[in-house]
Chains A and B, each alone.
Chain A
């Protein structure tokens, strides 16, 4: 028995080599802007000169640092149980992270979020079958500004057992977030062995590593917590308009992260990721649903795979403002392409309006899309020939194949069963149930899911400990 698996590729091997070599050449000749003190020391220790806030990184240092990057990361859940593997073409999804707004399901308006929204969001993510990781998806306004990053980690882990994609907005927050993660583990060593969170680190295009981003990568590396690089070149504005140029710039910016992390701690776990986009030349916006954005994403990922690193991308997002047809097709195309590219961690479900707005309705529709994508990626199974002949012989007698033993044996395996969010009823049944749109069906499903008992309820003593940490730092 074999399985025929689908796969896409947009770069050939020759171009991957050209991109990689040029990226190294960019780092050598153009250098990278670094302002973080610890990074300056790390680079200086390598004998590199610091000129006008730039380091010029020699190619052999890049090669050396790449050698020590682990080619896989296993993420564990809150309870320390193995959850997902980021390696090769393993595909996993998490909700698009750090939205500054939420689409209110009741009013239909986009508004600022409050912590209650994120609690509900996390409870729903706990229940979703096809989204294996959570993220600190919403920024809410009812906590002090200096708690807006770390407090999300508290809420997410209090309401959902899945590993979490997160990040810092302030340098000081990392230690608080580490403390929250440590509460879920036996020791620092245990946390290093069983990572629960990924920290996003976003360099600024072109070729700038901010103090905050650099510090986050160094801190995470020291604790052996995975960092996910989210370089975001904007083709035509802060990166070349030619897609290959943008992919090359992304490669250079991301290689810097590899060097920083490996200099801070050899063997630190890293994820080759990004959130590139093309510039919309009419509206001056950064469309995540643009097909070229998706092409750059896949190119970036192919470079990550070329360098044998776990991969990440922001895909299955939409720029629509409501979960409408545009939201459906942009998320659908993105999710399928991302899946076919074999991206290990795909951030995007739920996200609308240029990564600014989370929508629970869209999140649930995206969950269905992802279910279908995963079915697609399972490929076509060859159960042995003849493929149809014997079964057709039986057809004459039975006049149907629904009750055929082969149907009964395989239909649950061969078919993906969507939830009631996907409508496949007869028109009459659909009418009888109120002629509802997918968005409306998703809204109803959200209410059901948010009231369900968690799949893995949090241990009471852990919940208490997390609350204690919060009370210590919340001013």
Chain B
């Protein structure tokens, strides 16, 4: 089978949301010692971009988008350890993401994390109920580009502001872009916090992250 044909098969497996098929093809690529970077970019990457296009066209809905992203993620987990010759996969950027302290609502944050990963970001999902200080420590340690802070409650959203305030106090606010998420968040709140932006849903979040990094 030609290389192009193989990539196409991978891409189709992602678009058709055939998890078993996608995993099988990922293993096949490893077994045949193919250039894993190319397999990721031109096979799986092409597939998830097509999923995104179907979403934009209104043919795919959130469950399909998420399922595609999940399959993509599972395949990446398999493939990345096999990247040849110490090559590191170039990602769109690094993101640390968490739901703020006192707030256990994690679904929105998890969806955003999954979507960012599927679109090529390297995402560190710290989970829910995470203190502002801890988020910042992780951001520094992982040398991320973007910090994403989610809050569902009007009471906990104050924690989002705290993240920005700590960054300023420590004089490192120019090192990170801070994006906010959650139902009560508005552009006014983003401004008040001095954050860099927010998105209404997971797809917009990907767009926001890309535009902040000028991608």
**Would B200 and A403 count as touching, CB distance under 8 A?**
no
Number of A-B contacts (CB under 8 A): 38
The answer to whether B84 has its CB under 8 Å from any CB of chain A is no
The answer to whether A429 has its CB under 8 Å from any CB of chain B is yes
**Would B187 and A402 count as touching, CB distance under 8 A?**
no
Give Cα A407–Cα B61 distance, bound, in whole angstroms. 11
Contacts of A408 in B (CB 8 A): 17, 63-64, 67
Majority SS at the chain B contact face: helix
Give Cα A427–Cα B187 distance, bound, in whole angstroms. 11
CB contact list, B56-91 vs A, under 8 A: 61-64, 66-67, 69-70
Chain A residue at smallest Cβ distance from B71: A403
The answer to whether A426 has its CB under 8 Å from any CB of chain B is yes
A448 to chain B, nearest CB (A): 14
**Would B107 and A411 count as touching, CB distance under 8 A?**
no
Chain A residue at smallest Cβ distance from B70: A403
Of the listed residues A399, A402, A412, A428, the one surrounded by the most CB atoms of chain B closer than 10 A to its CB is A402
The answer to whether B29 has its CB under 8 Å from any CB of chain A is no
The answer to whether A400 has its CB under 8 Å from any CB of chain B is yes
**Would B61 and A400 count as touching, CB distance under 8 A?**
no
Chain B residue at smallest Cβ distance from A402: B66
Instruction: From the candidates B63, B106, B200, B204, name the one contacting A402 in the complex (CB within 8 A).
Output: B63
Given contact pairs A408-B17, A408-B67, A428-B187, A402 touches B62 in the complex (Cβ within 8 A): yes
Contact-residue bracket for chain A: 10 to 19
A427 to chain B, nearest CB (A): 8
**Would A400 and B63 count as touching, CB distance under 8 A?**
no
B158 to chain A, nearest CB (A): 22
B96 to chain A, nearest CB (A): 17
**Would B63 and A426 count as touching, CB distance under 8 A?**
no
**Would B200 and A426 count as touching, CB distance under 8 A?**
yes
The answer to whether B160 has its CB under 8 Å from any CB of chain A is no
B34 to chain A, nearest CB (A): 27
**Would B63 and A411 count as touching, CB distance under 8 A?**
yes
Chain B residue at smallest Cβ distance from A412: B61
| 0/1 interface trace, chain A 6-35, chain B, CB 8 Å (1 if under) | 000000000000000000000000000000
| 0/1 interface trace, chain B 94-137, chain A, CB 8 Å (1 if under) | 00000000000011001100100000000000000000000000
Contacts of B63 in A (CB 8 A): 402-403, 407-408, 411
Contacts of A429 in B (CB 8 A): 200, 204
How many B residues have CB within 8 A of the partner chain? 18
Give Cα A325–Cα B190 distance, bound, in whole angstroms. 34
The answer to whether B35 has its CB under 8 Å from any CB of chain A is no
Contacts of B201 in A (CB 8 A): 426
Give Cα A427–Cα B107 distance, bound, in whole angstroms. 20
Contacts of B17 in A (CB 8 A): 408
Contacts of A428 in B (CB 8 A): 187, 200
CB contact list, A369-409 vs B, under 8 A: 399-400, 402-403, 407-408
Give Cα A408–Cα B61 distance, bound, in whole angstroms. 9
**Would A403 and B187 count as touching, CB distance under 8 A?**
no
Chain B residue at smallest Cβ distance from A415: B61
Give Cα A400–Cα B107 distance, bound, in whole angstroms. 6
Given contact pairs A407-B63, A408-B17, A400 touches B111 in the complex (Cβ within 8 A): yes
**Would A399 and B110 count as touching, CB distance under 8 A?**
yes
Contacts of A417 in B (CB 8 A): 61
**Would B61 and A403 count as touching, CB distance under 8 A?**
no
**Would A399 and B107 count as touching, CB distance under 8 A?**
yes
| 0/1 interface trace, chain A 246-285, chain B, CB 8 Å (1 if under) | 0000000000000000000000000000000000000000
| 0/1 interface trace, chain A 420-435, chain B, CB 8 Å (1 if under) | 0000011111000000
Give Cα A183–Cα B17 distance, bound, in whole angstroms. 49
Contacts of B111 in A (CB 8 A): 400, 402
**Would A403 and B69 count as touching, CB distance under 8 A?**
yes
Contacts of B114 in A (CB 8 A): 400, 403
B89 to chain A, nearest CB (A): 22
Contacts of A402 in B (CB 8 A): 62-63, 66-67, 111
CB contact list, A405-461 vs B, under 8 A: 407-408, 411-412, 417, 425-429
Contacts of A407 in B (CB 8 A): 63
Contacts of B67 in A (CB 8 A): 402-403, 408
B21 to chain A, nearest CB (A): 15
What 5 A-B pairs have minimum CB-CB distances, sorted nearest first?
A426-B200, A403-B66, A402-B66, A403-B70, A399-B110
Cβ contacts A to B, 5 pairs, < 8 Å: A408-B63, A411-B63, A412-B61, A426-B200, A429-B200
Chain A residues near B (Cβ < 8 Å): 399-400, 402-403, 407-408, 411-412, 417, 425-429
Chain B residues near A (Cβ < 8 Å): 17, 61-64, 66-67, 69-70, 106-107, 110-111, 114, 187, 200-201, 204
Give 19 A-B pairs besides A402-B67, A403-B114, A426-B200 with Cβ atoms closer than 8 angstroms.
Answer: A399-B110, A400-B66, A400-B106, A400-B107, A400-B110, A400-B111, A402-B62, A403-B63, A403-B66, A407-B63, A408-B17, A411-B61, A412-B61, A425-B200, A426-B201, A426-B204, A427-B200, A428-B200, A429-B204
